[in-house]
Structure 1
Amino acid sequence: MRYRLLGRTGLYVSELCLGTMTFGHGEGFWKPISGVGQEGATALLKQAVDAGVNFIDTANVYSLGQAETMTGNAIRSLGLTRDELVVATKATGVMDEAQINARGQSRYHLMAQVDASLKRLQLDHIDLYQLHGFDPLTPLDEALSTLNDLVRSGKVRYIGLCNMAAWQIMKGLAISEQHGWSRFESVQAYYTIAGRDLEREVVPLLADQQLGLMVWSPLAGGLLSGKVGSDGRSPAGTRRASFDFPIVDMERAFACIEAMRPIAERHAVSVARVALAWLLSRPQVTSVIVGAKTPEQLADNLGASGCTLAAEELAALEAASALPPEYPGWMIARQGQNRARPLDKG
C-alpha cells in the first residue's frame, strides 16, 4: 500500500480508502447499496487494515447512522488505536424526515451532527469532516464559520467537501481566506475512466489550490467491473441491476471496458482492477474509495494498489476515454500553448 499527502496538509492517507456505504441495513435509497451486518463490517475493516489501509470514509446518512455505528464497533472490537486510522465522515443529508432542521449545513445541524457522529463512531475527534454536497439555503459563510469552530474545538482536524461545482469550491476557499478560517483541504467527487467530466473545471482547480481528491464510485456503481453485458444488463444481485446510479454514458463506458479487457488479460487481473489502477495513475487523485459487500470484492479492489500500468497501456486508455473538446477548455489550451512556446529572436 502506498500513502499520499492529503492536499497541502502533512497528513498521510492510504491511496485506497475503505468506504462504508455498504454497512448497515438501510431503507429507500440505501437499501440496494447496504446490507453488510456488524460481523461482516468488522471483517472487511480488518481485511483493509491488514492490507495497509489507514483511511476510512463514512457518513451520518449511510443507513441513517448504522454505518458509523458499525464502523465504531469494528474499530473498538479490533483493538485498533486511534493513531492507526484516519477517519472521515460527512453531514448535510436528511437524518430525520419529521424534523425540519435535521438536514442541511446550518450551524444548528452541523453542531448536532458532529456530536452524534462522534458518539456513533466512539471517537474523541474526526480527522476529516466533510460537507456532503451543496446546501442552497444555508449561506456558505455560516457553514464555514461552524466548521472553523469545530476545528478550533478539537472535535475536527481537517475539513473537506463533496460534490460541488468549481465555483462553489473556490467561493468557499475565498471566504475562509478572507476570515482566516480553516479551509477545505479535500474534495470528494465522482470520477471514473468512463466519466471524466471532473477534469474540465474541478481537477485544474484542485491542482491550483492544492486540494486533495477522494474518488467515490470509481467503478461507476459496478458498471466497470466488466460483468455488465454490452446490452447494459447487469447480472442479478449486482448493484446496477436494481440501482442505476451514477449516471453514465453507456456507449463511452463500454468503449472503455473493451479497451481495458486486453490490459486486464495481460496483467492477469480483473477489468475492475485496471479501472482502479487507471485512477491511481492520475496525478490529482489522493485516494480512491473502495466499498465492498464480500471479502472477495474487497481483495480484488485492494489489489489495484499493486497494479502499475505501462505507458503504452495508459495511452490506449487515454485514447478510449478522452473527453471531447468543449469551450472554453479548447481555447484556454490553445492560448496556453501559444504562451508556452519559446519566442524566436532575430
Structure 2
Amino acid sequence: MNLDHYVTLGRSGLRVSPLCLGAMTFGEDHGFGSSVKESEAILDRFIERGGNFIDTANAYTRGHSEKIIGDHLGRHPSKRDRAVIATKFTANLYLGDPNGGGAGRKAIFAQCEQSLRRLQTDYIDLYWMHVWDKHTPIEETVRALDDLVAAGKVRYVGVSDTPAWKVAQAHSLAGFRGWAQFIALQIEHSLLERTVEGELIPMARELGLGVTPWSPLKSGVLTGKYTRENAGKHKADRGPFVLSALTDKAYAVVDKLVEIAGALDTTPARVALAWVVARPGVTSTIIGARTLAQLDDNLASLEVELAPDQVAALDAVSAPTLDFPAGFLRMAGAFTNGGTTINGESAPAWPMAPKNDGERY
C-alpha cells in the first residue's frame, strides 16, 4: 500500500490517505515537540509522499499547532484546497470562562471561528467533538454542528473519545432530524489499547463511521525503544504517559514486535503500525512525528505485510479483557451458531445442546 492509495472516510465521499498526520506535537509550547521549521518540513514531506489528511485541535500546543498549519498551508489556496484539514473543539483555552470550552452552541461557534482564524481558512474539512461534554444536551451539540455545515464553515463532522452509547444516540438523532451525521470516530487503538474492540469499533462498523486510531504506538512505548533490558534508563518526553504503560504485558508485546521485525527486516514501530492499519474498521491511522526521520519510519509501515501467523501471535500476546457483555458475547457464539460456520465465523457446538437434531419441542 502507498500513502496515495486513498480511501473514503466512513459513509462519505471524503477521500483521505491511509495514514493521517497528527499535529499534536507541532510547536514546542509544552517543552517538547517540533519547532516551526521542523513542523513545516514534516508537513511538506507528508504531502510530497501523497498524504492529504492532517489532524490537529484547538488545544494542541495552546493553538500554536493550528497556527503553524495555517501559516504554512491555510494562507495558500493551492495548498489548502488539496489538504483535508481536521481540527477539534471542546477544550477550554480561557481560564475562568465557563463558555470558553465545551460542546454548547455558544462555545462551539466561538471555537470554530477561532480555529478558522488560526488555520487561515474559510472552512474546516472535518470538525471533531474532541471529548463528550456531559453538561450539554447532545441535541444542542449536533444541531450546532449541523448549522456550521449548513453555513459552509465545516464540511463534515466526527466524534472522538466518547462512549459508544452516546455516539450512537447522537448519530441516530441527527439521522432522524435530517442533520449532518458523524462520518468518523477517533479513538485510542494499539496493541496496548484494545478494549475499544468491545463496543466502540463494532458500533463504528455498524453505523458506517470510519475509525481513525490515535496513539497507535502508545506514546512511543511500541517503538522498541523501551525494553526489559533498559527499563528505567530512558527519559521519556511524555513522562507519565509512557511510564504508566511500561507493564509486564507491554514488555511481552515489545518482545514479540522485536521478534517479528527481525524476521521481516524492519522495525518494531512499523510492525506495530502495520497491525493497526490492517484492523477491521480502521480507515486512516493517525501517526505523530517530531522529526523527519520519525515520519519516514512511520510511513514505511505501509510497506509491511504481516503473515497470518504473525498477526495471530500479536493478537494473542495483546489480548484484551473486555467489559461485559463484549467478552461474554464472544464466548456465546457457540450458543447461537450451534457448531456451524456463519459469515466466515465458526464456533464450537454449545456443550448443553443435544447430540443430534432430535425432537423439537
Settle same-fold status: TM greater than 0.5: yes
CA distance in 2, matches of 1:284, 1:251: 28
> Corresponding residue for 1:206?
204
TM norm structure 1: 0.92
**Shift in alpha-carbon separation, 1:169–1:215, aligned structure 2, 3 A:** same
Contact kept? 1:6, 1:286, Cα under 8 Å: yes
Instruction: Give the distance between the partners of 1:247 and 1:176, measured in 2 at CA.
Output: 38
The answer to whether the 8 A contact 1:128-1:158 is kept is: yes
2:268 to 262, 271, 279: 271
- The counterpart of 1:311, out of the listed 304, 308, 322, is 308
Aligned residue number for residue 17 of structure 2: 14
> Percent of aligned positions with the same letter in both sequences?
37
TM-score, structure 2 as length reference? 0.88
User: Do structure 1's residue 39 and structure 2's residue 28 form an aligned pair?
Assistant: no
1:116 CA displacement: 1.2
For the pair 1:174 / 2:177, whether they are aligned, the reply is no
Q: 1:85 and 2:88 equivalent?
A: no
Query: Which letter does structure 1 place at the counterpart of 2:118?
Result: R
Aligned to 2:344: none
CA distance in 2: counterparts of 1:50 and 1:252, whole angstroms: 38
CA contact (8 A) 1:222 1:239 kept: no
Go from structure 1 to structure 2 and tell me whether the alpha carbon gap of 1:146 and 1:133 turns closer, same or farther (over 3 Å shift). same
Once the two structures are TM-superposed, the CA of residue 93 in structure 1 deviates from its matched residue by 0.6
Please point out which of 276, 281, 285 is paired with 2:278: 281
Aligned counterparts of 1:100 and 1:319: Cα–Cα separation in 2: 46
State the secondary structure of the residue aligned to 2:93: coil
1:305 shift after superposition: 1.3
Alignment correspondent of 1:229 = 227
Instruction: Quote the offset at 1:244 in angstroms.
Output: 2.3
Equivalences for residues 56-67 of structure 1 within 5 A? 56-67=54-65
Measure the CA separation in 2 of the matches of 1:165 and 1:336: 25
Given the alignment of the two structures, is residue 297 of structure 1 paired with residue 294 of structure 2, yes or no?
yes
Structure 2 gap segments, 5+ residues each: 342-355
Match of 2:72 among 65, 71, 74: 74
Q: What amino acid sits opposite 1:146 in the alignment? A: A
How far off its partner does 1:345 sit?
A: 6.7
What letter matches 2:70 in structure 1? Answer: G
- Deviation at 1:325? 5.9
- Whichever residue aligns with residue 160 of structure 2, its letter is C
- Which residue matches 2:26? 23
Does structure 2 retain, via aligned residues, the 8 Å contact 1:127–1:156?
yes
- Report the equivalent of 2:161: 163
Deviations 1:234-282 (A, max 9, x none): 623x324x34259537222111111111111122221111100000110
Q: Residue type of the partner of 2:184?
A: S
CA contact (8 A) 2:22 2:286 kept: yes
Counterpart CA distance in 2 for 1:306 and 1:337 is 37
SS state of the match for residue 48, structure 1? helix
CA offset digits 1:174-229 (Å, max 9, x no partner): 22123111111111111111110100111111111111111111111111111113
Give distance in 2, aligned partners of 1:87 and 1:196.
27
Q: Which of 255, 258, 266 is matched with 1:258 structurally?
A: 255
Asked whether 1:140 is paired with 2:138, we answer yes
Q: How far off its partner does 1:25 sit?
A: 2.8
Could you say what the CA RMSD is over the residues aligned between the two structures, in angstroms? 2.1
2:218 is paired with a residue whose SS is coil
Partner of 1:5: 8
Compute the displacement of 1:78 (Å).
7.6
SS of the aligned residue for 2:125 comes to strand
Q: Which has the larger radius of gyration?
A: 2
**Cα 1:76–1:153 shift into 2, 3 Å:** closer
CA contact (8 A) 2:74 2:80 kept: no
Tell me, in whole angstroms, the C-alpha distance in 1 between the residues paired with 2:263 and 2:193.
24
What is the distance in 2 between the residues matched to 1:109 and 1:133? 14
Q: Matches of 2:326 and 2:137 in 1, distance apart?
A: 30
Structure 1: gaps spanning 5 or more residues? none
Work out the CA distance in 2 between the residues paired with 1:234 and 1:295: 25
Deviating runs (4+, > 6 A) in structure 1? 343-346
Q: Is the 8 A contact 1:194 1:249 kept in 2?
A: no
